Structure 1
């Protein structure tokens, strides 16, 4: 794999630390940090309690997040890149060059790479993807025997394909090839990628679909995905610290933040490996990902020398199905224009967002499973300081007293409809009340905002009862509502 520190061939427009307001790690004797870092706010606050403000250090302790890195874009300029906390347990501080796993934000960068190949005439958005897959065709039932999956379907998560996400592999483990990942064959640790819904009819998030995109890109370019993306996207944008692929033991590994599990313990070996490059394999920094976001805005505006042609960029941002463009999420009609994505590989969380009309945005990366709620709290502080088009208002909610009998009706294990591998538990808390957790880790408080709705004060996630079992009134189906979307969850108690 090419060194991710190789900066040869960077565009002259690449930003460097000297041009930033801040480009360092927070610590004693350094300039006073921006106001957002002492004015974080949660997504909701309880009626009567008032809206509290927090420091980033307070919330890092609350969520057991060792390190955070923040990049802020104002007027298409990278105005601040700053680290907080530690990249390694009690050791190396987070700085502007600290690498984090970007997780599913990898898909946005990969989508831009695919659109570069469309512009070069090597791919078409609306042709049958099997033409570029060396004979590999997604398995399907007879009902979808003649269904064609296109690049547009794949980039908008509307191909009807399975495998929502990936589990990662320990350092030193044998890694599967792209074909093994698609076929679900050892050493791949996920199932085969197959069609389970008619392409183009509904949104179903599929990391497996982006592995099909990766296979197509390698086939038509004749290059490895890592080298192709380095040439087509990373170097032209000036993402000098970023690369797809495992870090191995090179110099870049010495700058990487080590991941942290929900209970606060470090990942053995520091991190997991994701050979599913297009879907989840990017290592990056907030500064690099914000440079990429700025370049997309330049492309939307049709500026000379931009990464993508104007028509390609505008098609990327157009709502295609639900609130999704080509590889990224876009704001619903009637709201300020925004494009965004999140990343959640094991041990890391990333929030990446941009308002193209004002060219304002931020990238927030953390090295902890519990980092997403913190990332949104940081974003709300930035929204207040920089007056973003969307103020990311915190909701005021009323707390409703419930009896233990009411609360117990929610207790159980639930599975997400659109992410079948994802399960969570609602459990009784010692001393009263309820908590929710993923895989039994990171128990978070739930309060009742009505007799049919539970609320997480930290994340703002709502669990709304949709169906109850006849006779017992036990909750069978929930509408799980969270910042940026919702999903149906069904009870799957053992």
Structure 2
């Protein structure tokens, strides 16, 4: 009992100190002198203009104040290893709960990257034809709103690469306590869902059109064919095998987890702290930059043929290759070229949360940034700092 009282008192003191200083170091790991020097350089090299401009280097904590961003959590990958991870500010501004590297943020559309791995693992394990029509693998629902597809096949590959020509860009989620729709109700646009039904807008395989609605169809495909709840399948088959043990797709999230509170652009918290996303494949992942770095490193090592905990080298290469010529989308990822080097990447935007990761296809470099704010600009500023400090 005395130990518990002492721990509670110590936590209260730490929170008081953090509220006075505006920065929290509690529970952040310590690193070698060389790594700590890189961390300090990143913290003091943010830029609000492109690197080739004459912009001035800026401080992370000051930029957090400017952007009204309560918490920032960062992980940097160097040579196929986590170089460092650190969190700043407050997981919940009102109650002054410090953000740590264990604080969970909504990954929003980064969920689509992990979902693609989940679908591809199922497909590879069961010799599934990714180019067959999706109705081949749908058991409890049939996609019928496809008049504008003109009889063309809509495949799982189309859904994963946003080349199916489908509607519903994204989702706003539901306040905690609201009635949640089933996956089929979401696809049909029936109450209590708050989005329209998924339908074809044009022929597949003609051009890119981002569709969280299409991603949600893959959620149903996995549930139909594995016999498992989507969150359970992803936990057992994708997250746990690569050590993402702090992460989950479960919706609503367990209440005893260290969840960050989402904040609007002016800094006020969401009414129920966060929104719930039954569209788990498209937007439901709760995670940390440290855990996301494990996914990135696994994919990078798989590309080298050095790890196949989730996918074979061939399947990972397929995931990282643009599906349509002239487009930048692989399966659950975007392929970008920056300063002559190719990266796979994805961003995320849920109500009150923003995030993004970039990871090199070669050399094993990467960065993940997650914030509990509507303001994305600080993420770009941090990326510029990391690129500058690490000379990417």
Cα offset, 1:225, TM superposition: 0.7
Cα offset, 1:140, TM superposition: 2.3
What's 1:65 paired with?
69
Residue 129 (1) aligns with residue 129 (2): no
What's 1:293 paired with?
296
Residue 236 (1) aligns with residue 241 (2): yes
Residue 37 (1) aligns with residue 43 (2): yes
What's 1:26 paired with?
25
Residues 167 and 124 (structure 1 numbering): CA distance in 2 closer, same or farther, change over 3 Å? same
What's 1:188 paired with?
193
What's 1:54 paired with?
58
Superposition RMSD on alpha carbons, in Å? 2.1
Residues 288 and 249 (structure 1 numbering): CA distance in 2 closer, same or farther, change over 3 Å? closer
Question: Which of 68, 79, 86 lines up with 2:83 in the alignment?
Answer: 79
Whole-Å Cα distance in 2 between the matches of residues 120 and 299 of structure 1? 16
Equivalent residues in 2 for 1:332-347, closer than 5 Å: 332=337, 335-347=340-352
Residue 324 (1) aligns with residue 349 (2): no
SS of match in other structure, 1:41:
coil
Whether the aligned pair in 2 keeps the contact of 1:351 and 1:376 (CA below 8 Å) is no
Q: Bigger shift: 77-86 or 24-33?
A: 24-33
Equivalent residues in 2 for 1:471-482, closer than 5 Å: none
Q: Deviations over 1:128-186 (max 9, x none)?
A: 11111124114022x43412210110011000000000011000000000000000000
What's 2:306 paired with?
303
What's 2:280 paired with?
277
Residues 278 and 368 (structure 1 numbering): CA distance in 2 closer, same or farther, change over 3 Å? same
Whole-Å Cα distance in 2 between the matches of residues 56 and 257 of structure 1? 19
Question: Which of 184, 205, 214 lines up with 1:209 in the alignment?
Answer: 214
SS of match in other structure, 1:34:
helix
SS of match in other structure, 2:358:
strand
Higher Cα radius of gyration: 1
Higher relative contact order (CA 8 A, sep 6+): 2
Which structure dedicates a bigger proportion of its chain to strand?
A: 1
Question: Which of 161, 164, 169 lines up with 1:164 in the alignment?
Answer: 169
Residue 261 (1) aligns with residue 261 (2): no
Whole-Å Cα distance in 1 between the matches of residues 338 and 259 of structure 2? 39
Whole-Å Cα distance in 2 between the matches of residues 151 and 319 of structure 1? 15
Q: Deviations over 1:95-120 (max 9, x none)?
A: 01000000000000000010101111
What's 1:102 paired with?
107
Structure 2 stretches lacking a partner, 5+ long: 1-22, 31-35
Cα offset, 1:298, TM superposition: 1.2
Whole-Å Cα distance in 2 between the matches of residues 365 and 30 of structure 1? 17
Whole-Å Cα distance in 1 between the matches of residues 329 and 249 of structure 2? 24
Whole-Å Cα distance in 2 between the matches of residues 25 and 328 of structure 1? 33
SS of match in other structure, 1:59:
helix
- Structure 1's consecutive aligned runs of 4 or more residues displaced over 6 angstroms after TM superposition are 27-31
Whole-Å Cα distance in 2 between the matches of residues 282 and 263 of structure 1? 25
Residues 327 and 304 (structure 1 numbering): CA distance in 2 closer, same or farther, change over 3 Å? closer
SS of match in other structure, 2:72:
strand
Which structure dedicates a bigger proportion of its chain to helix?
A: 2
Cα offset, 1:245, TM superposition: 2.2
Structure 1 stretches lacking a partner, 5+ long: 1-23, 389-494
Whether the aligned pair in 2 keeps the contact of 1:329 and 1:340 (CA below 8 Å) is yes
Whether the aligned pair in 2 keeps the contact of 1:165 and 1:206 (CA below 8 Å) is yes
Cα offset, 1:224, TM superposition: 1.1
Q: Bigger shift: 191-200 or 329-338?
A: 329-338
Question: Which of 342, 353, 357 lines up with 2:358 in the alignment?
Answer: 353
Whole-Å Cα distance in 1 between the matches of residues 70 and 248 of structure 2? 23
Cα offset, 1:46, TM superposition: 11
Question: Which of 306, 312, 321 lines up with 2:315 in the alignment?
Answer: 312
Residues 123 and 94 (structure 1 numbering): CA distance in 2 closer, same or farther, change over 3 Å? same
Cα offset, 1:332, TM superposition: 4.7
If the length of structure 1 is used for normalisation, what is the TM-score?
A: 0.70
Whether the aligned pair in 2 keeps the contact of 1:122 and 1:220 (CA below 8 Å) is no
Q: Bigger shift: 302-311 or 237-246?
A: 302-311
